[in-house]
Structure 1
Amino acid sequence: MIEETGRVVAIEEGAVWVETLRKTTCSSCSANAGCGQGLMDKIGVGRQRGFVRVLSDLHLALNDVVVIGIREDLLLRSAVLVYLLPLLGLLAGALLASSLALSEGLVILSAMVSLFASWLAVRWHCRRSENDPARQPVVLRAMLAGATGQQ
């Protein structure tokens, strides 16, 4: 389970909206001292608050600090779907057009059309499964008062 701490900002039946602070991993990088992104992270530029709808069967109140989680295998499959499938579509379109001995312009056009078609397929799949409870983040536990993980 991948975990993140957040604060409850809204309550629905069977779910809550949680505000989290988006952080980078720059503080753990060995090139942190000489990196522009690391400097921006130190002064707080780029930090944003994110709002996530999270399933919960706990009795929570506004401003409760909670730990939310999402399954690692779900995150990995989603990353493959969103990043790898369109890339494979692009390559497949280019290879197919190239194997048909089409001109370079048509190979590029075929690759772009395949990329767009793959993106549409990913979008369709995501929209179809967006309300599946097995694919939603969940509240793992509520934190004790004073034990916030937020800044």
Structure 2
Amino acid sequence: MIEESGRVVAVEPGAVWVETLRRSTCSACSANAGCGQGLMEKLGVGERRGYVRALSDRVLAVDDRVVIGIPEDLLVRSSLLVYLLPLLGLFAGALLAQWLALAESFVILAAMGGFASFWGLVRWRSRQGAEDPARQPVVVRAERASDLQTVEIR
């Protein structure tokens, strides 16, 4: 399970909207100290907030801290589908046009057509399964906001 922590910003029946902080992987890089991108991240320039809808059977409230997760195999299969299938379409279109001995401009157009058609197939497939609960992020752990102790600094 791939997990990400966040804060609940909205609650709906059977699900919550979670605000997460998107970070780059610069903090894990060995060249972090001498890199301009790493410095910008330390200064908070690259911080962006993302909003994710996660399924939950728990009673949660706004400002609760949660950890959401998705299965690793789902991420791998989705990545292969999104990245590999359009690329295969590009090669299939180009190879088909080459096999038919078409001019180079038609080979290029066939490659772009193969890419676009396979990309459309991926988009159609993703919309078909968008409401499938097995493909949705879920709340793995939660910590109620009322249970957290607030420390006031003066």
TM-score, normalization: structure 2?
0.91
Aligned pairs for 1:37-116 (under 5 A) are 37-116=37-116
User: 1:20: Cα distance to partner?
Assistant: 0.3
**What are the Cα deviations for residues 48-79 of structure 1, in whole angstroms up to 9, with x where unaligned?**
00000000001111100001000000011111
User: 1:46: Cα distance to partner?
Assistant: 2.0
Partner of 1:130: 130
- Say if 1:96 and 1:24 are closer, same or farther in 2 by CA, change over 3 A: same
SS at match of 1:3: strand
Partner of 1:34: 34
Once residues 36 and 91 of structure 2 are traced to their aligned partners in structure 1, the CA distance between those partners, rounded to angstroms, is: 33
Fraction of identical pairs, as percent: 67
SS at match of 2:24: coil
In structure 2, stretches of 5+ residues that fail to align are: 150-154
User: 1:100: Cα distance to partner?
Assistant: 1.3
In the alignment, does 2:23 pair up with 1:23?
Answer: yes
Give the superposed CA RMSD.
1.3
Letter of the 1:60 partner, please give it: L
User: 1:19: Cα distance to partner?
Assistant: 0.3
Once residues 96 and 35 of structure 2 are traced to their aligned partners in structure 1, the CA distance between those partners, rounded to angstroms, is: 42
Letter of the 1:19 partner, please give it: E
SS at match of 2:49: strand
Once residues 54 and 97 of structure 1 are traced to their aligned partners in structure 2, the CA distance between those partners, rounded to angstroms, is: 45
Once residues 111 and 63 of structure 2 are traced to their aligned partners in structure 1, the CA distance between those partners, rounded to angstroms, is: 49
In structure 1, stretches of 5+ residues that fail to align are: none
TM-score, normalization: structure 1?
0.92
Query: Segments of 4+ in structure 1 off by > 6 A?
Result: none
In the alignment, does 2:119 pair up with 1:119?
Answer: yes
Once residues 91 and 36 of structure 2 are traced to their aligned partners in structure 1, the CA distance between those partners, rounded to angstroms, is: 33
Whose radius of gyration is greater, 1 or 2? 2
Once residues 56 and 31 of structure 2 are traced to their aligned partners in structure 1, the CA distance between those partners, rounded to angstroms, is: 39
Letter of the 1:39 partner, please give it: L
SS at match of 1:125: helix
Once residues 51 and 125 of structure 2 are traced to their aligned partners in structure 1, the CA distance between those partners, rounded to angstroms, is: 23
Q: Which moved more, 1:39-48 or 1:131-140?
A: 39-48
Once residues 129 and 115 of structure 2 are traced to their aligned partners in structure 1, the CA distance between those partners, rounded to angstroms, is: 21
